[in-house]
A = this chain, B = another copy of it.
Amino acid sequence: MKTDCVVPGKTRLGWIGVGVMGASMCGHLISAGFEVSVHNRTRSKAATLLARGARWVDSPKRAAEQSDVVFSIVGYPDDVRSVMLGPDGVLAGSRPDMIVVDMTTSRPSLAVEIAEAAARQGVASLDAPVSGGDVGAREAKLSIMIGGDRAAMDALQPCWRAMGTTIVHQGGPGAGQHAKLVNQILIAGNMIGLCEALLYGYRSGLDLPTVLKSVVSGAAGSWSLSNLGPRIIANRFEPGFFVEHFVKDMGIALNEAQRLGLCLPGLALAHQLYMAVQAQGHGRDGTQALELALARMSGVDWRNRRS
């Protein structure tokens, strides 16, 4: 299995987790011609995939029993642990020469633990978190950061290609998670700069769309500025990427950084500020809602600002 490439119509896939990301990603595998067994905590969310020919299974264990490769993308590290290592989990139903892939953004140390448990059963395990958000998932343009056995990764190329455009092997077990945390640390800094800059621009009396024209394409330019700047100015705070998931990711990164003996004051500040965003009721808004909490710190009601 590990050295053979997966083949649509022959290789059987399992898929655990059909949230905003997972539903789109699993749909692309069905479109590519794979037979897929699906499980999700809330069955109703799988309806669209089932209507497209996916088969429902009652647990991650059952998904493993009926598949050659099982993917998961769920919410939090505790969910990953339960899905992969629990009594009804994937490894409880696995056979030698299977491949299991966790695509959740999760703890690197948990990815290592899963890989070790899998190896004891002759199963290959990959951590393969993604970036690109809901739009990247929908358009099959994700960046997929992969840790674990290189041969297992290579065997899954038809699956990666169905979901993403940037497919990079980052190293051994956990390296995919570390790379994703690098991605989140970059975004944490960018978001602080973006939201503080817009607050400053507004309070100094500038016209914000006009300021964007001056700064968007130069040394201050970023994906966040181009894509989230206009949404913030238009008071559009829907996700995108949930605040509560970003808080989780930064928490994982801070824990890992502490384990590594690293002082990361910007990440710590971003984590605290996003705790405020969440505390103010914006956990299910997009990460650009940082603007609301930051403005409130200075007594500015951003949504109702005079323009």
Q: Which of A273-307 contact B (CB under 8 A)?
A: 273, 294, 297-299
Cross-interface CB contact of A204 among B166, B200, B260, B265, cutoff 8 Å: B260
Q: Check if A298 sits within 8 Å of B218, measured CB to CB.
A: no
Q: Check if A298 sits within 8 Å of B261, measured CB to CB.
A: yes
A171 to chain B, nearest CB (A): 6
Cross-interface CB contact of A178 among B201, B224, B253, cutoff 8 Å: B201
Asked if A67 is at the interface (CB within 8 A of a chain B CB), the reply is: no
Cross-interface CB contact of A205 among B178, B205, B224, B263, cutoff 8 Å: B178
Q: Check if A136 sits within 8 Å of B218, measured CB to CB.
A: yes
A227 to chain B, nearest CB (A): 8
Asked if A211 is at the interface (CB within 8 A of a chain B CB), the reply is: yes
A2 to chain B, nearest CB (A): 22
A154 to chain B, nearest CB (A): 16
A217 to B166: give the CA distance in the assembly, Å.
9
Asked if A47 is at the interface (CB within 8 A of a chain B CB), the reply is: no
Complex interface: stretch among A27-35, A113-121, A191-199? A191-199
A295 to chain B, nearest CB (A): 9
A25 to chain B, nearest CB (A): 15
By the criterion of a CB under 8 Å from any partner CB, how many residues of chain A are at the interface? Answer: 74
Q: Check if A187 sits within 8 Å of B193, measured CB to CB.
A: yes
Q: Check if A189 sits within 8 Å of B186, measured CB to CB.
A: no
A159 to B231: give the CA distance in the assembly, Å.
34
Q: Check if A298 sits within 8 Å of B262, measured CB to CB.
A: yes
Asked if A59 is at the interface (CB within 8 A of a chain B CB), the reply is: no
A135 to B128: give the CA distance in the assembly, Å.
38
Q: Check if A199 sits within 8 Å of B262, measured CB to CB.
A: yes
Q: Nearest B residue to A223 by beta-carbon distance?
A: B221
Cross-interface CB contact of A297 among B187, B217, B263, cutoff 8 Å: B263
Asked if A269 is at the interface (CB within 8 A of a chain B CB), the reply is: yes
Q: Check if B262 sits within 8 Å of A193, measured CB to CB.
A: no
Cross-interface CB contact of A266 among B132, B133, B196, cutoff 8 Å: B196
Q: Using Cβ atoms and an 8 Å threshold, which residues of chain B touch A179? A: 201, 206, 211, 214-215
Q: Check if B185 sits within 8 Å of A217, measured CB to CB.
A: no
Asked if A11 is at the interface (CB within 8 A of a chain B CB), the reply is: no
Q: Check if B131 sits within 8 Å of A200, measured CB to CB.
A: no
A90 to B264: give the CA distance in the assembly, Å.
47
What is the 8 Å Cβ interface bit string for chain A, positions 94-109, against chain B (1 contact, 0 not)? 0000000000000010
What are 9 A-B residue pairs whose CB atoms fall within 8 Å in the complex? A131-B215, A132-B218, A168-B214, A171-B205, A181-B200, A186-B220, A186-B225, A187-B220, A192-B265
Chain A interfacial positions (CB closer than 8 Å to B): 108, 131-133, 136, 143, 145, 166, 168-171, 175, 178-179, 181-194, 196-201, 203-207, 210-211, 213-215, 217-225, 227, 241, 253, 256-257, 260-267, 269-270, 273, 294, 297-299
Given contact pairs A169-B210, A182-B197, A266-B266, enumerate 8 new A-B contacts (beta carbons under 8 Å): A131-B220, A143-B218, A168-B213, A181-B204, A183-B218, A187-B193, A189-B193, A190-B222
